[in-house]
Structure 1
Amino acid sequence: MAEQRAGGRLAPPEWLTQGLRPQSAPVPWAAVVRAGIAMAAPLAVGFAVDEPVYGALVSMGALSGVIGDTADAYRMRLLNIAVPQLFGAIGVTLGTLVYGQGWLAVGVLTFVALVSGMISTIGAVASVSGLLLLLQAVVGAGLPMPDPWWTAPLLLTLGGLFVLVLTLIAWPLRGGVPERDAVAETYRAAAGLLEAAGRDSDTYDARRQAVTEALNTAYDLVLARRARDHGRRSPLVRLLAQLNVVVPLVESAPAAHLRRRALPPEIPAAVRELADAVASGGTGDASAFALRLPAPTSQSGRAVDHALRHAAAVVLSADPEAGTLDDRLGRPAALGARVRRATRNVLLSQSSWRYGLRLALCIGLAQALVSLIDVPRSYWVALTVVFVLKPDFGSVFSRAVQRASGTALGLVVAAAVLAELERGWWDVPVMLVLAALIPAFTAKGYAFQTAAITPVILLLSDILNHEGFGLVLPRLYDSLIGCAISLVAGYLLWPESWHTRVGARLADTVADAAGYVECAFGPPDAQGERQRQRLRRRLYRDLSVVRSEFQRALTEPPPVGARAAAWWPLVVATERIVDATTAARVRINHGAQAPAGAEVAEVARELRELAEGLRASDTLVEVRTALPRDDETVLAPLRQEVAAARAVASPVRPRG
Structure 2
Amino acid sequence: MRRLRELAESDRFADVVRVLFALTGIAAWCTMAGPADAIVPALLGAIACALAETDDAWRGRLRGLLVTLVCFAVAAAAVKASIGTPVIFALLLPLGTFALVMLGAASGRYATIATATLILSVYTMIASDGAGAGATVDGWRGTLAILAGAAWYGSLSLLWSALAPQRAVRHALARLFASLGDLIEAKAALFEPVRGLDRDALDLAVSRRNLRTVEALTAARGTLLDRIGRRQPRGRAAARLGMFFVAQDMHERISSSHYPYDELAGALYHSDLMFRFGRLLRLQAMACRERADAIRRVAPLRSIALPRAALDDVREAMAYRRRHDPPDQAVDDALSALLTNMQRLQEGIEDEGSLREDADIALQGNEPASLREALARVRLRLDRRSMHFRHAMRLAVGMLGGYALMLALHPRHGYWILLTTLFVCQPGYGATRRRLIQRVAGTTAGLVAGWALLRLLPPGDWRLPVLVASGAAFFAFRLRRYTLATGVITLFVLLCFDRVGAGYDAIGPRLLDTLLGAVVAAAAIRWVLPDWRVRRLDDIVADALLAQGRYLARIADQYTRGKADDLPYRIARRDAHAALATVAGNVAELLAEPGHPRDRGERSLRRLTALQAGLSHLSTLGAHRQRLAEADAAAFRQRAQRIADGFDTLAAHVRAGAPARALHGIDDSDATPPDNGSSDETLRLVHRQCRLLVRVHDRIAAIEPA
Shorter-chain TM-score tier: 0.7 to 0.9
Distance 2:640 2:337 in 1: 21
Deviation at 1:386, TM superposition (A): 2.0
Distance 1:600 1:583 in 2: 14
Deviation at 1:59, TM superposition (A): 1.2
Q: What amino acid does structure 1 have at the position aligned with 2:75?
A: G
Q: What amino acid does structure 2 have at the position aligned with 1:215?
A: L
Is 1:600–2:647 an aligned residue pair?
A: no
Q: What amino acid does structure 2 have at the position aligned with 1:384?
A: T
Structure 1 residues 540, 487: CA separation in 2 closer, same or farther (over 3 Å shift)? Answer: same
Give 2:145's aligned residue.
155
Indicate conservation of the 8 Å contact 1:52/1:463, yes or no: no
Is 1:438–2:459 an aligned residue pair?
A: no
Deviation at 1:456, TM superposition (A): 1.1
User: After superposition, where does 1:510-525 map in structure 2 within 5 Å?
Assistant: 510-522=545-557, 523-525=559-561
Structure 1 residues 340, 235: CA separation in 2 closer, same or farther (over 3 Å shift)? Answer: farther
Structure 1 residues 36, 602: CA separation in 2 closer, same or farther (over 3 Å shift)? Answer: same
Structure 1 residues 302, 341: CA separation in 2 closer, same or farther (over 3 Å shift)? Answer: same
Indicate conservation of the 8 Å contact 1:179/1:218, yes or no: yes
User: After superposition, where does 1:2-81 map in structure 2 within 5 Å?
Assistant: 28-49=12-33, 51-69=35-53, 71=55
Deviation at 1:44, TM superposition (A): 3.8
Is 1:313–2:305 an aligned residue pair?
A: no
Give 1:538's aligned residue.
575
Q: What amino acid does structure 2 have at the position aligned with 1:199?
A: F
Give 2:361's aligned residue.
326
Deviation at 1:372, TM superposition (A): 4.2
Distance 1:194 1:489 in 2: 40
Secondary structure of 1:496's counterpart equals coil
Indicate conservation of the 8 Å contact 2:439/2:483, yes or no: yes
TM-score by length of 1: 0.80
Deviation at 1:107, TM superposition (A): 1.9
Indicate conservation of the 8 Å contact 2:52/2:116, yes or no: no
Q: What amino acid does structure 2 have at the position aligned with 1:248?
A: D
Distance 2:145 2:468 in 1: 19
621-630 or 65-74, which moves further after superposition? 621-630
Distance 2:385 2:257 in 1: 44
Structure 1 residues 41, 532: CA separation in 2 closer, same or farther (over 3 Å shift)? Answer: closer
Q: What amino acid does structure 2 have at the position aligned with 1:443?
A: L
Q: What amino acid does structure 1 have at the position aligned with 2:688?
A: A
After superposition, give the CA deviation of every residue in 1:417-459 in whole Å (9 maximum; x if it has no partner): 3344454122112123322321232133444432232221121
Give 1:16's aligned residue.
none
Secondary structure of 1:71's counterpart equals coil
Distance 2:561 2:424 in 1: 51
User: After superposition, where does 1:337-352 map in structure 2 within 5 Å?
Assistant: 337-342=372-377, 344-345=379-380, 351=386
* Percentage of pairs with the same residue: 21
Is 1:230–2:231 an aligned residue pair?
A: yes
Give 1:199's aligned residue.
191
Give 2:591's aligned residue.
554
Structure 1 residues 500, 53: CA separation in 2 closer, same or farther (over 3 Å shift)? Answer: farther
Indicate conservation of the 8 Å contact 2:45/2:150, yes or no: yes
Q: What amino acid does structure 2 have at the position aligned with 1:470?
A: D
Q: What amino acid does structure 1 have at the position aligned with 2:224?
A: V
User: After superposition, where does 1:377-456 map in structure 2 within 5 Å?
Assistant: 377-389=413-425, 391=427, 395-456=431-492
Q: What amino acid does structure 1 have at the position aligned with 2:610?
A: A
Give 1:363's aligned residue.
399
Deviation at 1:622, TM superposition (A): 5.4
Give 2:339's aligned residue.
301
Give 2:699's aligned residue.
647
Structure 1 residues 130, 175: CA separation in 2 closer, same or farther (over 3 Å shift)? Answer: closer
After superposition, give the CA deviation of every residue in 1:259-304 in whole Å (9 maximum; x if it has no partner): 8534647766777787789889999999999977856953443343
Structure 1 residues 427, 421: CA separation in 2 closer, same or farther (over 3 Å shift)? Answer: same
Q: What amino acid does structure 2 have at the position aligned with 1:129?
A: I
Distance 2:10 2:163 in 1: 23
Distance 2:357 2:179 in 1: 25
Secondary structure of 1:433's counterpart equals helix
Distance 2:299 2:213 in 1: 23
Give 2:218's aligned residue.
216
Indicate conservation of the 8 Å contact 1:93/1:137, yes or no: no
Indicate conservation of the 8 Å contact 1:237/1:325, yes or no: no
- Quote the RMSD (CA, aligned, Å): 4.2
Give 2:124's aligned residue.
140
Indicate conservation of the 8 Å contact 1:245/1:311, yes or no: yes
**Matching residue within 506, 515, 518 for 1:483:** 518
Deviation at 1:471, TM superposition (A): 0.9
Distance 2:659 2:219 in 1: 37
Indicate conservation of the 8 Å contact 1:82/1:164, yes or no: no
**Matching residue within 411, 417, 420 for 1:375:** 411
Distance 2:34 2:90 in 1: 35
Deviation at 1:208, TM superposition (A): 4.0
Give 2:529's aligned residue.
494
Structure 1 residues 132, 172: CA separation in 2 closer, same or farther (over 3 Å shift)? Answer: closer
Indicate conservation of the 8 Å contact 1:397/1:487, yes or no: yes
Distance 1:354 1:216 in 2: 25
Structure 1 residues 553, 77: CA separation in 2 closer, same or farther (over 3 Å shift)? Answer: farther
Indicate conservation of the 8 Å contact 2:661/2:698, yes or no: yes
Indicate conservation of the 8 Å contact 1:553/1:560, yes or no: no
Distance 1:267 1:479 in 2: 47
Secondary structure of 1:558's counterpart equals coil
Deviation at 1:213, TM superposition (A): 3.0
TM-score by length of 2: 0.75
Distance 1:565 1:254 in 2: 24
Distance 2:585 2:111 in 1: 17
Structure 1 residues 36, 191: CA separation in 2 closer, same or farther (over 3 Å shift)? Answer: closer
After superposition, give the CA deviation of every residue in 1:163-217 in whole Å (9 maximum; x if it has no partner): 3344445434432232244345545555665564563573655554454233222
Distance 2:446 2:565 in 1: 54
Structure 1 residues 370, 254: CA separation in 2 closer, same or farther (over 3 Å shift)? Answer: closer
Indicate conservation of the 8 Å contact 1:500/1:563, yes or no: no
141-150 or 591-600, which moves further after superposition? 591-600
Deviation at 1:460, TM superposition (A): 0.9
Structure 1 residues 584, 524: CA separation in 2 closer, same or farther (over 3 Å shift)? Answer: same
Indicate conservation of the 8 Å contact 2:663/2:697, yes or no: no
After superposition, give the CA deviation of every residue in 1:13-63 in whole Å (9 maximum; x if it has no partner): xxxxxxxxxxxx978333333333433442343333584421122111122
- How many aligned residue pairs are there? 621
Deviation at 1:557, TM superposition (A): 2.6
Deviation at 1:577, TM superposition (A): 0.8
Indicate conservation of the 8 Å contact 2:546/2:651, yes or no: yes
User: After superposition, where does 1:458-469 map in structure 2 within 5 Å?
Assistant: 458-464=494-500, 466-469=501-504
